[in-house]
Amino acid sequence: MRYLGIEPKRPKIAVVDFTCCEGCELQLANKEETLGPFLGALQVVNFREVSSEKREDYEIALIEGAVSRADETDRLRRIRKQAKVVVAFGSCACYGGVHRMKNAYSLAAANREVYGDKPKDTDLVRPVKEIIPVDLEIPGCPVNKEEVERIVQHLVMEVPYNFPVYPVCVECKQRFTVCRYDLGELCLGPITRAGCGAPCPAGGLGCWGCRGPDADPNYEEFIASAKKRGFGEREIKERMSFFGGFEGVVP
């Protein structure tokens, strides 16, 4: 990456994954029109999903996935020792993601249901920050590559990145998307942090809250207003529990 002939620093980065679908990592290889410059801005030294290079001298660790087994906890601690900057990458790393819904069920019963009489080692699902200190959280299921690019640009130029403080509703208005409430659907847009570009409401789906809360969510008013519009407690609860970002405030 060169702008006006100046060669910026190319930080050494590792991309590692835990309990997840690896969809956020995949975003690093998406937005193909700028893939060359994006990869050129970094030195990818450890990225198991796309490279056989396994260097341990990384400065930044992008961590995808939640934590759900003891060996993952050990691995995370080793990564924290090496990396100057630990980034929780995607909603699973930030909040536990959809996997956190497993915590509502008994682990023994879950094991019986899936593995019968040969249970597998598993634990309660936790976000990365409950195990090690995290320097930056990039939420989203999946992360928005455009936002990731902007963050990397800031990082390389040593300029702090500010996430939007406003909710997804603002981005729906910006792109002239009809409000899902006007179509009679539940939407977590009013309490969810923007920055995704609001692709779901535009694509015909209410917001499921994957990016977690905006800077100043009014939960009481949101829940009361959703109920007034005829959405039941079970539906609101299911929606707010989905990605783990509203843990603790789910009705």
Partner 1 sequence: MTTVNLNVDVHHLTRVEGHGNIRVRIEGGKVKEARWDVVETPRYFEVMLQGKHYTSAGILTARICGICSIGHCLASVRATEDAFGIEIPPLARKLRLLAKHGETLQSHILHLYFLAAPDFLGLPSAIPLATANPTVFHIARRLKGLGNRICDAVAGRTTHPVSIKVGGMARLPERAGLEKLRAELVASTADLAATVEVFAGLSIPDFVRETEFVALKGEKDYPWIGGQLVSTDGVVKPEREYRAMTNEFVTDANTTKWCKVSRESMAVGALARFNLNYRFLHAEAQKVAERLGLKPVNHNPFMNNVAQLVEAVHVAHESIELIDEILRQPASAPISVPVKPRVGSGVGAVEVPRGILYHGYSYDGEGHVTKADCVIPTTQNNLNIHLDIGALVAKLAQQPGMTDARLELLCSMLVRAYDPCISCSVH
Shortest distance, CB of residue 32 to partner 1, whole angstroms? Answer: 3
Residues making up the chain, counted from first to last: 251
Q: Is 47 in the site for partner 1 (CB under 8 A)?
A: yes
Q: Is 211 in the site for partner 1 (CB under 8 A)?
A: no
Q: Which residues contact 103 (CB under 8 A, 6 or more apart)?
A: 96, 124, 125
Closer residue to partner 1, CB minimum distance, 29 or 179: 29
Q: Which stretch binds partner 1 (CB under 8 A): 129-137, 163-171, 197-205, 223-231?
A: 197-205
C-alpha distances (whole Å) from 199 to each of 13, 96, 171 are 28, 22, 9
Q: Is 21 in the site for partner 1 (CB under 8 A)?
A: yes
Q: How far apart are CA 65 and CA 10, in angstroms?
A: 25
**7 token code pair:** 């060669």
CA-based nearest residue to 88, from 173, 199, 212, 185: 212
**Number of residues in contact with partner 1 under rule CB under 8 A:** 60
CA-based nearest residue to 187, from 206, 215, 171: 206
Q: Is 141 in the site for partner 1 (CB under 8 A)?
A: yes
Give the dihedral sign, CA 214/189/225/137.
negative
Grouping H, G, I as helix, E, B as strand and the rest as coil, residue 169 is: helix
Q: Is 182 in the site for partner 1 (CB under 8 A)?
A: no
Closer residue to partner 1, CB minimum distance, 82 or 135: 82
Q: How far apart are CA 28 and CA 234, in angstroms?
A: 36
Q: Is 124 in the site for partner 1 (CB under 8 A)?
A: no
Q: Is 230 in the site for partner 1 (CB under 8 A)?
A: no
Task: By CB under 8 A, name the binding residues for partner 1.
Answer: 17-27, 29-30, 32-33, 35-36, 39-40, 44, 47-54, 68-69, 72, 97-99, 101-102, 105, 109-111, 113-116, 118, 120, 122, 141-142, 199-200, 202-205, 208, 235, 238-239, 242
